[in-house]
Chains A and B, each alone.
Chain A
């Protein structure tokens, strides 16, 4: 393969696509650009080891970014628009200059951005955690020793931020609009277990609670958060607010292109979005035969596997080999306090959920999800061995009954 490739996005998916292209024999130019000015880094520690101060940013550089892959890496450079017919990308450099970048093939890996609360822009003390800069800015404020942090959203980012604050001895109020945290991912029963983990760790958990207002005061000429007014009628004084209410995909620059955008870039089952154009990571929406629906997966491992698969798709085009189908078993982990939560598969919140090992009372268990006779997920809390072993059953498309039998023998 000797064409020119542009990879838009230099995070996990983009960098792994670049590495796979190069190691797979791509000898042409590979331009990798990212709006983020920091060298490509790993995101999971942003809400954990970076926030707690255990690790410095140097430790989270992506290994592939340290390899000599002959990439033309342009950081602080944003894609503004793309013309797929002319094969031309409009890019804005760190100095604000706008240029054109031509390409033969393209990898779309611009990921997603943290959603913010409306009307919170510019208020000091209100944070999101998505980029290294976000994490370091929040860390600076946590090091100043706030008396309380309000975390809005009890999803995985909110939960990990709450955990990191507690590790620093900071009081936390965790606000969730839904009746239970993670209910849409894990179902009601397991959502309740996750809520209890926070309570056991001294967090003031407010469920079915909305945010009415971020109250501010002017401190040294800066508008700064002082409290959060909640829909339960209370007002929680806090110097710091962290918003973890999900993400929006970074597809703005693709508007007007011929690509199909539907909460992500719609791809086929080989991650091809258009001839010579592939997508990977948080932004890629692809049909999963395994789960019988379109999936867009925001997991760490899917970003790696997707980046590699997208690159191999382009390599297959060049070599004339048949492309491989992308349909891995999604898997992720979340570390909260001294608990490790791992989920393999993609259960629906209404799927049947059975604890097959340990107990939820001791926060050390394995649960299986099933829909009809199909195994759809494996959830573990402090049971990494069992989750990894049972994940293989999802790969093998085991039935719910087979999985329960196998779990009983572990």
Chain B
């Protein structure tokens, strides 16, 4: 598959973490062996998921705020490959 020469970047550094009411922190885990870059998650939560021109998915925010939980859960549900999961740290 063609590459557009874009280099991989890591998730941005966090100066703070976002705690839920239960005191846990939501962390997004993507199984990249399963991910097929259908970009459904990007359609739901572009703030967190981005499929770039190299056809790979990048998680922009692995530790999103609680306010994003509904969108993240919808992304988990709608992923055609069940490649996304939420871990509570």
Contacts and interface: CB of A to CB of B under 8 A. Distances in A.
Contacts of B2: 362, 364, 382
B43 A63 contact: no
A214 to B, nearest CB: 34
Contacts of A389: 42-43
A137 to B, nearest CB: 24
B43 A333 contact: no
Interface in B5-60: 36-40, 42-43, 50-53, 55
A207 interface: no
Interface residues on B, range: 10 to 19
B80 A391 contact: no
A342 B38 contact: yes
A388 B42 contact: yes
Chain A interface main SS type:
helix
Contact of B39 (A44, A364, A384): A384
B55 A382 contact: yes
Interface residues of A, number: 20
Given A382-B55, A384-B55, A387-B39, 19 more contacts: A63-B82, A333-B36, A338-B1, A340-B37, A340-B55, A362-B2, A364-B2, A382-B1, A382-B2, A384-B38, A384-B42, A384-B51, A385-B39, A385-B42, A385-B52, A388-B42, A388-B51, A391-B43, A392-B43
Interface of A: 44, 63, 300-301, 304, 333, 335, 338, 340, 342, 362, 364, 382, 384-385, 387-389, 391-392
9 contacts: A333-B80, A340-B36, A340-B38, A342-B38, A382-B1, A384-B37, A385-B42, A388-B42, A388-B51
